[in-house]
């Protein structure tokens, strides 16, 4: 073992941790990108360390584009794996299983996702399958009915979950007439209305080259990736006029309201408290991110410390912003015993007002910066995690150097900026208190927080 002779180890004060220096920006890994002649964005992150390849197809039209038929985007995406012009749903599943590959689908508010993962030696065959799934879906009636039953049963089961009921009441109230108010999975009534014509129409309008982003990750070169796309998707054309979602700009409430969803004789309450916020492109991200992490976005946050450590009301409480493409929301979530629901809300309000009225301490700001900047490089350890961040850049039109300057931008944030962010993005006097629990008890306990509305989901 070698020792530094310039340091007197016997004089070190080991009761105090050493001072940490500011983290420096990390070089965001390079990647290849191009756009095909028909508008498909292609990203390639080549990594030859393992003989595997993954590919993600991201169509920039999620449930926001459902318009008057909630659940349509999700239904359409899930139907892609249920058969093509050449393969049945069973044949697709058997072939994917034969190659030891995986094929997954998903929908969120702003996009639909289809991903495949396989060994490099089988990628040719797996890509043929996913290309067929995406370009020649059959939308067979028997598969539509089978999936409809599954989705309706899933929605019915969700209605037994307190967090789902609180979430749905919250989203409906906060987003009003905006599509973000509607559930991605849809309602039982709308899912039952969806027919083959709806699915084919949505597919033709939204699963088009100009809305497609494809990210290749793993043992594959940019030239080979482009060849795959050109051969399988290069012949596709965009419609003469693209159908956009019905954009509606929601308006934040001018007064507090208490929404109660009933779980008769429930021993605890599920809380989702918040209000409308801004879109991803509108937010001053770095001050807001630090502010929320100090408030409730981390385990050591004020809200969690108050409710969990000081008062023992809950095992955990958190706050977060959900920034979508066109609008967003802020909320605090937790679960507490029915009898202390009002007490928990009072403490949450106290923390919301405090972070708006007083600057955070030097210790809080430094600790949070160290946590965020120390954790950030860990998010770039794998090619797939890098791909996720690149997709995020593209989906929300962020600056290309967003992640390259991430750490320095975090370190630049001041206490004044955190306070300004809290004043700008938090509105304790205009909250929506969505609570799922025993209404006959809660209705009296919570009436002083705002006008009571008992809702049925």
Residue 17 in any domain: the answer is: no
Say if 325 falls within a structural domain: yes
Determine, yes or no, domain membership for 245.
no
Task: Note whether residue 247 is domain-resident.
Answer: no
Query: Residues 149, 221: one domain?
Result: yes
The answer to whether residue 83 scores a pLDDT higher than 50 is yes
Q: Kindly report, residue by residue over 232-257, the tens digit of the pLDDT.
A: 999 999 987 666 655 677 888 889 99
Residues 322 and 443 grouped into a single domain: yes
The arithmetic mean of pLDDT across residues 412-433, rounded, is: 97
Rounded average pLDDT over 147-173: 97
- What is the tens place of the pLDDT at every residue in 329-384? 999 999 999 999 999 999 999 999 999 999 999 999 999 999 999 999 999 988 88
Domain annotation covers residue 386: yes
- CATH number of 124's domain: 3.30.830.10
State the pLDDT confidence band at 10, using cuts at 50, 70 and 90.
low
Q: Is residue 423 part of a domain?
A: yes
- Give residue-wise pLDDT tens across range 290-337: 999 999 999 999 999 999 999 999 999 999 999 999 999 999 999 999
Q: What is the pLDDT of residues 269-278, one digit of tens each?
A: 999 999 999 9
* Domain co-membership, 197 together with 263: no
Q: Which of 62-66, 345-349, 416-420 is predicted with the least confidence, judged by mean pLDDT?
A: 62-66
Residues 267 and 302 in one domain: yes
Do 191 and 276 have their domain in common?
Answer: no
Alpha carbon distance 444, 448 (integer Å): 8
Is 188 a domain residue?
yes
Q: Are residues 273 and 166 in the same domain?
A: no
178-192, pLDDT tens digit by residue? 999 999 999 999 999
Q: How many domains does the chain fold into?
A: 2
Residues spanned by the domain of 44:
32-233
Same domain for 39 and 93, yes or no, is yes
The stretch 2-23 carries a mean pLDDT of 60
Domain end residue (candidates: 233, 266, 286)? 233
214 plus 297 within the same structural domain: no
pLDDT value for 1: 44
Its pTM stands at: 0.90
Question: Which pLDDT does position 67 carry in this prediction?
Answer: 80
Q: Which of 233, 249, 279 is the last residue of a domain?
A: 233
Average pLDDT taken over every residue of the chain: 93
1 occurs within a structural domain:
no
């Amino acid at each position: 073992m070698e020792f530094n002779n310039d340091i007197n180890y016997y004089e070190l004060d080991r009761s105090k941790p050493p001072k940490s220096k500011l983290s420096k920006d990390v070089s965001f890994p390079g990647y290849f990108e191009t756009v095909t002649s028909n508008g498909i964005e292609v990203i390639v992150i080549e990594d030859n360390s393992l003989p595997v390849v993954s590919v993600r197809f991201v169509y920039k039209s999620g449930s926001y584009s459902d318009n008057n038929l909630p659940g349509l985007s999700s239904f359409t995406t899930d139907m892609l794996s249920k058969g093509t012009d050449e393969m049945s749903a069973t044949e697709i599943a058997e072939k994917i299983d034969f190659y030891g590959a995986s094929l997954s689908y998903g929908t969120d508010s702003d996009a639909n996702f289809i991903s495949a993962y396989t060994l490099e030696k089988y990628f040719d065959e797996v890509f043929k399958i996913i290309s067929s799934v995406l370009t020649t879906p059959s939308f067979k009636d028997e598969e539509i009915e089978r999936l409809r039953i599954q989705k309706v049963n899933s929605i019915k089961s969700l209605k037994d979950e307190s967090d789902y009921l609180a979430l749905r009441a919250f989203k409906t109230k906060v987003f009003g007439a905006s599509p973000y108010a509607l559930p991605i999975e849809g309602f039982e009534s709308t899912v039952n209305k969806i027919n083959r014509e709806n699915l084919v129409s949505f597919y033709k309008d939204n699963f088009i080259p100009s809305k497609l982003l494809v990210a290749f990750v793993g043992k594959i070169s940019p030239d080979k990736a482009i060849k795959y796309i050109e051969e399988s998707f290069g012949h596709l054309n965009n419609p003469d006029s693209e159908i956009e979602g019905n954009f509606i700009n929601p308006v934040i409430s001018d007064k507090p309201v208490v929404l109660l969803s009933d779980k008769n004789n429930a021993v605890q309450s599920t809380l989702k408290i918040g209000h409308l916020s801004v879109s991803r492109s509108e937010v001053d991200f770095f001050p807001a991110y630090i502010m929320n992490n100090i408030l409730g976005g981390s385990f050591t946050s004020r809200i969690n410390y108050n409710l969990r450590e000081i008062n023992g009301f809950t095992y955990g409480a958190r706050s977060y912003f959900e920034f979508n493409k066109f609008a967003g929301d802020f909320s605090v979530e937790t679960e507490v015993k029915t009898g202390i629901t009002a007490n928990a809300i009072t403490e949450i309000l106290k923390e919301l007002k405090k972070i708006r009225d007083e600057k955070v301490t030097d210790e809080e700001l430094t600790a949070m910066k160290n946590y965020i900047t120390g954790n950030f490089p860990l998010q770039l350890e794998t090619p797939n995690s890098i791909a996720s961040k690149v997709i995020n850049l593209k989906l929300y039109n962020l600056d290309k150097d967003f992640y390259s300057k991430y750490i320095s931008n975090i370190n630049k944030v001041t206490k004044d900026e955190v306070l300004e962010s809290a004043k700008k993005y938090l509105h304790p006097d205009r909250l929506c208190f969505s609570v799922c629990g025993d209404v006959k008890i809660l209705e009296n306990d919570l009436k002083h927080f705002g006008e009571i509305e008992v809702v049925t989901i």
